[in-house]
Amino acid sequence: MNPGGMDMQALLQQAQQMQQQLVQAQQALDETEVEGTSGGGLVKVKLSGRGQVEDITIDPEAVDPDDAADTAETIADLVLAAIRDAEAQVERIQQEKMGPLAQGLGGGGMPGLPGF
């Protein structure tokens, strides 16, 4: 009889399955692309599912050639807002992909694992 009633083989198999699920979830995040926008679409930012900025697009309509200083400030604000929009979407996607795994790990997460 095992001390404490734990089946080590079953525990190891469960850990391997969770590791495979984690790798699959991380791969899905790597393949996911999210777009954040601001200024009614004047600025668009694409982020990976892991939150890395992949691309920034600024519509020429955002540029006022007669007021470069004000335009630069406005564009900076719009870029920041678009990044925050995309980051919020990435966070939701990460929760969808990784949340069930965190719950499977006892809800407290697992130290040392990315995303936990």
CATH number at residue 52: 3.30.1310.10
Query: How high does pLDDT run on average in the chain?
Result: 82
Asked if residue 5 belongs to a domain, the reply is no
Q: Specify if 40 maps to a domain.
A: yes
Q: Do the bridges between strand 53-58 and strand 33-38 make them parallel or antiparallel, or are there none, so unpaired?
A: unpaired
- Does any domain span residue 75? yes
Is residue 3 included in any domain, yes or no?
no
Instruction: Provide the number of structural domains found in the chain.
Output: 1
Domain of 99 in residue numbering reads as: 30-103
Burial of 28 (0-12, 13-18, 19+ CB in 10 A): middle
- For residue 60, being part of any structural domain is answered with yes
Residue 48 phi, psi dihedral angles, 5° rounding: -75, 165
Residue 58 lies in a domain: yes
pLDDT in tens, 40-90: 999 999 998 888 899 999 999 999 999 999 999 999 999 999 999 999 998
Helix, strand, coil % in the chain, rounded to nearest 5: 60, 15, 25
